Amino acid sequence: MVTPRQLKQLADQHGTPLFVVDHHEIRRNFAMFRKHLPRVQAYYAVKANPDPAIVKTLFRAGASFDVASMPEFNIVHENIAKWPAKKRQDFIWDKIVYANPVKDNRTLAELDPYKPLVTYDNLAEVGKIKKYAPHAGLVLRVNVPNTGSMVELSSKFGASPGEAVDLMEAAFNAGLAVEGLSFHVGSQCTNYQNYVQALEIADSIFKEAWDRGHKQVRILDIGGGFPAPYDPHVQPFAELAKTLNAEFDRLFGPEIEIIAEPGRFMVATAAILAVEIIGKAVRNGKQCYYVNDGVYGTFSGVLFDHCQYHFKAFKKGPTQIASVFGPTCDALDVVSVAEDLPIGLQLGDYLYSENIGAYTIASATNFNGMPLPKVVAVGATL
CA distance 42 to 205: 23
Name every residue whose Cβ is closer than 8 Å to that of residue 349 and which is 6 or more positions away in sequence. 276, 277, 313, 314, 315
The pairing of strands 97-98 and 117-120 is parallel
162-167, Cβ contacts within 8 angstroms, sequence gap of 24 or more: 164/140, 164/205, 164/208, 164/209, 165/205, 165/208, 165/209, 165/212, 165/214, 167/120, 167/121, 167/122, 167/123, 167/126, 167/140
Task: Choose, from 189, 288, 307, 329, the residue flagged as catalytic.
Answer: 329
Going along the chain, which residue ranges are E strands?
Answer: 18-22, 40-45, 64-67, 97-98, 117-120, 137-141, 177-182, 219-221, 257-260, 271-283, 286-291, 312-313, 319-325, 334-342, 350-353, 374-378
Cis ω before 71 (30° cut-off from 0)? no
342 touches 317 (CB < 8 A): yes
Q: Alpha carbon of 148 to those of 151, 187, 189, 190, 257: distances in Å?
A: 9, 10, 7, 7, 28
CA distance 51 to 60: 15
**Could you tell me how far CA 238 lies from the centroid of its own chain?**
19
Backbone angles phi, psi at 83, to 5 degrees: -70, 150
**Could you tell me how far CA 266 lies from the centroid of its own chain?**
8
Backbone angles phi, psi at 279, to 5 degrees: -165, 155
333 touches 302 (CB < 8 A): no
CA distance 170 to 130: 11
**Active-site residue, 329 included:** yes
CA distance 159 to 330: 40
Question: Which residues are part of the catalytic machinery?
Answer: 329
